[in-house]
A and B are shown apart, each in its own frame.
Chain A
């Protein structure tokens, strides 16, 4: 691996650890006494410290080191888990995120961290100010929680006993950690280690003074164990006694390393809420893209093969091609699946976001996320995060009211924000609902009128939902003041743009006083779409069927001119017509001479447009390819595809025509 590969791996893992730190801190906030969570946080911070130090990112290493110090104190019970400390740790994680973002740009070393380090050190060094208290705590005492005791009892037999071995190393011992490790190894030959204090990790990191206690289950006489340890270099003295498990006081908070538990559960996969080890492989996204391209080419070539096979009329060949077809469809599916990522990836940011926003605004909100395992294409996942965050910000800033307001109208003080994702047919639906005060229709209408987007008459004709969806017009921000939380009216128009660019739709429904729901529909995969192939002149184009309402045949007598525009009637309404050769600048179109015209009715929201073509060809699934960076985006062209004969056909975007 080159350095850059290491960096990529580091960045990926770093992101994961930071994410799990955020989740774990959130859990710790609700369950401050949970030692397992503390340990998990400690481990994550420790891993990030090691990795960043190895990569030379010293600022990250310093911050995580300082975090570790505090976490160590929390684990040992020398420090209580308080809201201030949790906020401090959150802030530290934020700093780590800033540092991580600075790494690709080479800025990590320039980022100022003295502030956070000072705050972190305040806590970890406050303990050092009371040495006597610390000394008292430092007197080692090996205890067990009730659960741990049960597990030990199960193992005790006539011959197997529990010993507490207190080992003292010489004060001038240089490699304490290594020594302790050696001793533990020696001891393991003679029995099962139940627990050590400090924990094995702390011993390895030399986070102890000079002594430690081993709780050992062994059938050997205790003297033998003591003698074996005394033989190790740098050991000052060893005290070993058999203990009766029932006489040991209970430990309410389990800390230290209960090794036995891990061994017992070795057969079952370790279930941890805070971090699952699933069978996954990291794959460079570009390799997946290449795989997709290859599959797409196979799909195209398959078409050609089918053509040839039908021409040759050879049965064996046909059967072979059919099998190839089936396999190819499965391959296509599987490869597309590899690009699918669970929305959890995006949703995991929300709890932290909601927490921060509600704290600053003084509101109380329950965030409920469902369907996080719903999957979307990777490129969609990358793009959908920001729009969703904006929608959530709106819900929290404008939707959900402050606790007093809610009480006044008889709602529970804690508001509810639901984010849901599910698959429906060929689409994925994501909804964000709040039980806040809903959207003020009159206000929206007023702003739209003032900005000249609609007239009074039009307004009178609009349905409630249509009025609310006026929100998506540009320049719309119904908040009078610019709040820090919601930012400058970035606006739902940008949200709609982003979602439309992904091939999706978004709409809002709302009930005054009850709440608002934003519904986003996204296509399941980007890469392959259904289209209708048409011909104009000698050129072939593809129209995505999501845009097509219907295809009709119109006689030239049914075409009239209205204000210079060709129109016809359809379903009792006036349908504007456009000859595609005019839009596409095609020179050899023939439809002007035809009596019966093929018209593709295209819809864009509420509007319909009839596109006149020369010939309707066939419906076809095509693989969308980009026109490339050199051309960039050309108005009216959504992309290109490669036909069965290897030619390129352009995919049309007819939404803004006419």
Chain B
């Protein structure tokens, strides 16, 4: 996988004058998403028990102990209403920072880290891969792949979930 990245990096490097965005790509269900690597603090395996937090928003799975710090774990698949295959061997938690507070995002797998030119990012269509545009920062076409960039603040902010929940009830 490393060679892959380096090669891809070299390809990208040829576009030297453009500003590059470095993304961590991960999989939720069957789809690939990306976040800016600058927002990602670290990547961990979820090998310890998760402690459930009663009365927390539904997509908050619980909290874990990370070297003495209590980190809440969020299941983005629940958040976006995607299909939920059981967490497997490749499942990881990507620790990001939302408005200064650490949060762990549960993902099915971390795929790779890529660099794309900023100019390749376009505004997202209303719904992409089953996810509403308000949670997205943009989309980028890389080769024949469509990379979807997450807007972490919106995707992970708890207040939104209330409205979401109410909206869903309304529709039903």
Contact = CB atoms under 8 A, between A and B. Distances in A.
B72 A642 contact: no
A648 B68 contact: no
A630 B103 contact: yes
Contacts of B100: 629
Interface string A625-640: 1111111101111001
Interface stretch (B46-54, B109-117, B142-150): B46-54
A628 B101 contact: yes
A625 B51 CA distance: 14
Given A631-B60, A647-B65, A636 B70 contact: no
Contacts of A635: 55
Interface residues of B, number: 27
B48 A627 contact: no
Nearest to B74: A630
Contacts, number: 78
Nearest to A586: B54
B63 interface: yes
Contacts of B167: none
B56 A628 contact: no
A583 B55 CA distance: 9
Contact of B53 (A300, A626, A650): A650
Interface in B34-58: 48-49, 51-56
B101 A642 contact: no
Interface in A468-525: none
Interface string B100-143: 11110000000000000000000000000000000000000000
A634 B55 contact: yes
Contact of A642 (B65, B99, B103): B65
Residue picked from A300, A627, A648, most chain B C-beta under 10 Å: A648
B55 A297 contact: no
B101 A640 contact: no
B54 A636 contact: yes
Contacts of B102: 628, 630
Nearest to A642: B65
B63 A640 contact: yes
A296 interface: yes
B54 A585 contact: yes
Contacts of B20: none
B68 A634 contact: no
A566 B51 CA distance: 29
A36 interface: no
Interface in A610-658: 625-632, 634-637, 640, 642, 646-650
Interface in B61-78: 62-65, 67-72
A539 interface: yes
Contacts of B48: 646-647
A164 B46 CA distance: 84
A584 interface: yes
A628 B63 CA distance: 10
Given A296-B68, A628-B102, A642-B68, A636 B55 contact: yes
Residue picked from A626, A629, A637, A649, most chain B C-beta under 10 Å: A629
A565 interface: no
A57 to B, nearest CB: 29
Nearest to B60: A631
A296 B65 CA distance: 13
Size bin of chain A's contact surface: 20 to 34
A640 B55 contact: no
Contacts of B156: 630
B82 interface: no
A648 B70 contact: yes
B101 A629 contact: yes
Contacts of A627: 53, 63, 70, 72
A244 interface: no
A628 B156 CA distance: 14
A630 to B, nearest CB: 4
A379 B132 CA distance: 42
Nearest to B104: A630
A629 to B, nearest CB: 4
B101 to A, nearest CB: 4
B51 A647 contact: yes
A403 to B, nearest CB: 53
A649 to B, nearest CB: 7
B54 A640 contact: no
B98 interface: yes
A300 B69 CA distance: 13
Contacts of B158: 630-632
A644 to B, nearest CB: 11
A550 interface: no
A301 to B, nearest CB: 10
A635 B56 CA distance: 9
Contacts of B70: 625-628, 640, 642, 648
Nearest to B63: A648
Contact of B72 (A293, A585, A630): A630
A111 to B, nearest CB: 29
A649 B62 CA distance: 11
B51 A648 contact: yes
A520 B64 CA distance: 36
Contacts of A640: 51, 63, 70
B75 to A, nearest CB: 14
A584 B52 CA distance: 10
A538 to B, nearest CB: 10
Nearest to A629: B101
Contacts of B60: 631
A585 B55 contact: yes
Contacts of A646: 48, 65
B62 to A, nearest CB: 8
Contacts of B67: 297
Interface of B: 48-49, 51-56, 60, 62-65, 67-72, 98-103, 156, 158
7 contacts: A585-B54, A628-B71, A628-B101, A632-B158, A637-B55, A640-B63, A649-B51
